[in-house]
Amino acid sequence: MEKVVIIRYAEIHLKGKNRGYFERVFAVNLEKSLKGIRHELHRTSGRWLVEKFEETRAEEIAERISKVFGVHSYSVGYLVGSSLEEIYAGAALIAPREGTFKVETHRAYKKYPLTSMELSAQIGGRLLHEFPALAVDVHRPQNTVYIDVRENGTALVFGSFEEGAGGMPVGTSGRGLLLISGGIDSPVAGYMMAKRGMTVELLHFHSYPYTNEGAKEKVVALAKILSQYSLVTELCTIRVTKIQEEIHAKCAAELNVTLLRRFMFRIAERFASENGLQCLITGESLGQVASQTIEGMTSSNAVVTLPVLRPLVGFDKDEIILRSKKIGAYDTSILPFEDCCTVFLPEHPAIKPKLAYIEEEESKLDVDALVEEALGTAERITF
């Protein structure tokens, strides 16, 4: 008898002709997520099985699998021989010791000597006999023992279906560049695009020495949390200090954020083009702050041609916070470190600035040279 993790996949089956491709990417992603844990991964009819690992690591494996997009559900259980004795041995380990239960059997191997009902009854009867505090309730059991009789002379026995991360395998929906700050929103935005199968590379702007080492470590910590889902283990940082100082010295204070945002987009687009990335992704949500009005978004879109995806655009802050907690980023996101956007923050940022006014103020700067200089500060952090 061997402990295994059973993985069932989600939307992959929708993709007709591309199915083979989706499944290959999915398998690669499962392998990536299990990096550092000895195991074998096998494809079986419509499912994957993680086998041959140290039993004590089963929960850790399950935890990692729970974050892989494309996983519909998973179960920790036992791979056993298909004799009644062996199936019972697995069931006895899975079954609760008290309360109500039922046994549910599925037979892929139709020539098995017992029908599904008969096998369930036999196993259930023996469990009742061995554990007197158990009672059968086939309608509303507290626990279920699932038995899957496979075609190759083995069976799977498990006790629950755990909900997977859903979505599509990362790597099947193109490549985007997430502008990641140290805040709550952008990690969630990255999570959402990765869930739809996009490979999400990361770019962070800092304004050292106005922002410090702590701020950088916080972003790396967020990037690591995101990487459990997105499987991307690299972050690029670019310094925009000079740009902020120039804006502060030469342009109308109320446009500080608007102008900085346009620089961020220009730099991000250059970075994306040089790295084969097809779109920019931000954590903006309509109306959340002064720069996230439709006018603000229009003004930053105006300086790039790549599509800008804003997966949180229609979400309330409460909804974003819920998601942030769910993915395990929230506690890190709320650590108090300065982001470059809060340096030189004007007291009254322009809420609906006209494009002509923005361009006039911006013309006081040597935009191309500043962009070029910033790109030269790019640093890659691998974690």
Closest CA to 95 of 135, 64, 60, 62: 135
Beta bridge partners of 77: 4, 158
Q: Which is nearer to Mg ion, 156 or 189 (CB)?
A: 189
Tell me which residue has its CB nearest to ligand ATP: 183
Establish if 259 lies at the interface with ligand ATP (CB under 6 A).
no
Q: Binder to ligand ATP among 144, 172, 291, 332 (CB under 6 A)?
A: 291
The whole-angstrom separation of Cα 274 and Cα 282 is 19
Q: Binder to ligand ATP among 181, 293, 299, 332 (CB under 6 A)?
A: 181
Strands 154-158 and 143-149, bridge-based pairing: antiparallel
Determine the longest span between alpha carbons in the chain, in angstroms. Answer: 86
Q: Write down the least CB distance from residue 56 to Mg ion, Å.
A: 41
Q: Binder to Mg ion among 181, 227, 237, 256 (CB under 5 A)?
A: 181
Neighbours of 244 (CB within 10 A): 21
Q: Write down the least CB distance from residue 278 to Mg ion, Å.
A: 24
Establish if 134 lies at the interface with ligand ATP (CB under 6 A).
no
Tokens linked to 211: 């922002």
Give the CA distances from residue 188 to residues 59, 281, 313, in Å, rounded to whole numbers and listed in that order.
25, 11, 12
Closest CA to 183 of 211, 144, 155: 211
Q: Which does 332 bind (CB under 5 to 8 A by kind): Mg ion, ligand ATP, none?
A: none
Q: Write down the least CB distance from residue 208 to ligand ATP, Å.
A: 11
Establish if 179 lies at the interface with ligand ATP (CB under 6 A).
yes
Q: Binder to ligand ATP among 272, 341, 343, 374 (CB under 6 A)?
A: 341
| Piece of 173-181, 214-222, 229-237, 330-338 that binds Mg ion (CB under 5 A) | 173-181
Helix, strand, coil percentages, rounded to 5, for the chain: 45, 20, 35
Establish if 282 lies at the interface with Mg ion (CB under 5 A).
no
Q: Which does 335 bind (CB under 5 to 8 A by kind): ligand ATP, Mg ion, none?
A: none
Residue type, 234: E
End-to-end CA distance of the chain: 37
Establish if 289 lies at the interface with ligand ATP (CB under 6 A).
yes
Closest CA to 188 of 326, 314, 81: 326
Region 338-357 residues binding Mg ion, contact defined as CB under 5 A: 339
Contacts of 119 (CB under 8 A, 6+ apart): 84, 87, 103, 105, 107, 112, 147, 149
Establish if 322 lies at the interface with ligand ATP (CB under 6 A).
no
Contact at 8 Å (CB) between 163 and 192?
no
Tokens linked to 173: 């929906």
Q: Which does 169 bind (CB under 5 to 8 A by kind): ligand ATP, Mg ion, none?
A: none
Per-residue binding string, ligand ATP, 183-222, x by CB under 6 A, is xxxx-----------------xx-----------------
Q: Which is nearer to ligand ATP, 4 or 202 (CB)?
A: 202
Establish if 70 lies at the interface with Mg ion (CB under 5 A).
no
Q: Write down the least CB distance from residue 333 to Mg ion, Å.
A: 9
Region 292-321 residues binding ligand ATP, contact defined as CB under 6 A: 292
Contact at 8 Å (CB) between 206 and 172?
no
DSSP 8-state symbol, 321: H
Chain length of the chain: 383
Interface with ligand ATP (CB under 6 A): 179-181, 183-186, 204-205, 282-284, 288-289, 291-292, 339-341
Interface with Mg ion (CB under 5 A): 181, 183, 339
